[in-house]
Amino acid sequence: MEEKISQIQKEYLEKIGKAQNLKELDVIFLELFGKNGIINALSAEFPKLPKEELPEIGPLFNKIKKELETAIEKKREAIREVGYKKLETEKLVLQGDALQLKKRQGHFHPVTQFEKETIDLFEKLGFIQFEAPHIDTDENNFGLLNIPEGHPARDLWDTLYIDSKLLLRTHTSNGQVRAMRKYGVPLRIMIIDRCFRYENLDARHEHTFEQFELVYIDKGVSMANLQYLSEYFFKALLGQDIQARLRPKYFPFVEPGAGVDSECIFCKGKGCKVCGGIGWLELAGAGMIHPTVLKNGGIDPNIYSGIAWGFGPLRMAMLKYGVEDIRKFLSGDLKFLTK
Ligand SMILES: [Zn+2]
C-alpha cells in the first residue's frame, strides 16, 4: 500500500509539472479527486488493510493528498500568471472567421432622424432650438397662454396632473412665454420635444408623443409668413410639388388660428382613401400669437406680432415612412426599427 501511494505521488507530481493549460489541470484534478478518482478508490481500500499498518499509512496518505492538492493549485496560479503576462505584451490579432463577422451598426430612431431633418431645415432660416421642462406649472402650460383656470378650452387637453400646481406638459407651447422673457424680440425659436396626454391609446393616439413648434415674433409678421413656412416645410420633406393651405381653426392661444393642410401626397389632391376624398391632409396647427400671450412675455403687441406653428413629428413620420400604427414608434421592437 505504501508503495502504491508513493507511486501515485511520483506519477502525478510529474503530470502536474508537465500540464500546459488549465484544462489539462482540471482533467488531472478529476482523475485524483473526482467522485470516482484515485483518492476515493484508495480510501475505500483502507478497511481491508491489516490493523497494524493503519497508523503509518493514514498520515502518509493525508500528507500526499495535501501535497498533490497544493501542487495543482500552485500550477494553476503559474499558468494564469503566464496568461496575464501575455495579455500585457501581445496585441490582439484578428484572423479568418473573426474578420468575417458582420458588423451590426446602430442608427437613430426613425422619429429622431425625421426631427434632425426638420431642425436642419429651420436652422437655415435662423431658428434656434429652445428647451422647456417636461414637468411644468399649470401657469406656464395654460395660464400664461391665455387659458386661465376654469376656461372651457382646457377641456381640449386630457392633462396628466402631478398635484394641484404641477403637470406633465401637454404641448411644447409651455416654452413660448419663457423664450419671450429670456430673449425678447425679434425671436425665432423652435421647440422639438416630448409631450404627454391622458389618451385612450389607439393606432393614432399615444400618451407620450413628440411635438415640433416654431415661434417667430418680429415687426410686421403676418399670416403670409405662416403660408410661406408651411410650404417651405412640406416641399422639403414631402416633395417639391406639394402645396400647403391654411384653414380657419380655433386654438386658444392664437388669434386667428389656422389648421395647416398639405396636398395629399398619395393622390396629389385628386381625392383618395387616405385623405377621405378631400385631396388635403391636416398636418399642422398654427396662428397669430394672441396679444395677451405677447404681453405675458413682456412684448408690446402694438409694435410686434408673432406666429406659432406646430405639428406632431410622429404623425408626420407615419406619413413619410408609411407607418400605420403610431404605437410602433415607442414599442422598442427592433424588427420595426431596423426595417
Ligand atoms: Zn388623397
| Edge-to-edge strand ranges of the sheet holding 166-168 | 135-137, 166-168, 160-161
Contacts of 316 (CB under 8 A, 6+ apart): 114, 237, 283
Tell me the average pLDDT of the chain.
Answer: 86
Is 221 noted as a catalytic residue in this protein? no
Say whether pLDDT at 199 is over 80. no
Over residues 133-183, the pLDDT tens digits come to 999 999 999 989 888 888 887 777 788 888 888 999 999 999 999 999 999
Tell me which residue has cell 400664461.
144
Sign of the C-alpha dihedral computed for residues 293, 299, 304 and 306 taken in this order:
negative
Percent of the chain with pLDDT over 90: 37
Say whether pLDDT at 61 is over 80. yes
Say whether pLDDT at 234 is over 90. no
Q: How far is the CA of 262 from the centre of ligand 1 (A)?
A: 10
Long-range CB contacts for residues 117-125, cutoff 8 Å, separation at least 24: 117/237, 118/192, 118/212, 118/233, 118/237, 118/313, 119/190, 119/192, 121/232, 121/233, 121/236, 121/237, 122/190, 122/214, 125/188, 125/229, 125/232
Q: How far is the CA of 196 from the centre of ligand 1 (A)?
A: 30
Question: Is the model more confident about 6 or about 220?
Answer: 220
- Dig out the grid coordinates for 262 from the structure: 398639405
Over residues 242-263, the pLDDT tens digits come to 888 999 998 878 889 999 998 8
Q: How far is the CA of 243 from the centre of ligand 1 (A)?
A: 13
Cα distance from N-terminal residue to C-terminal residue, the chain: 73
Is 308 noted as a catalytic residue in this protein? yes
Catalytically annotated residue among 169, 171, 178, 188 = 171
Catalytically annotated residue among 71, 254, 258, 260 = 254
Q: How confident is the model over 189-215, as a mean pLDDT? A: 85
Over residues 70-101, the pLDDT tens digits come to 999 999 999 888 888 887 777 766 666 665 65
pTM flag (> 0.75): no
Q: Domains for the chain: give ranges and CATH numbers.
A: 2-100 (no CATH), 110-337 (3.30.930.10)
For 184-253, the DSSP string reads -SSEEEEEEEEEE-----BTTB-SEEEEEEEEEEETT--HHHHHHHHHHHHHHHH-TT--EEEEE---TT
Name, of 22-36, 193-207, 231-245, the range with top average pLDDT.
22-36
pLDDT at res. 269: 86
Neighbours of ion ligand 1 (CB under 5 A): 264, 266-267, 272, 275
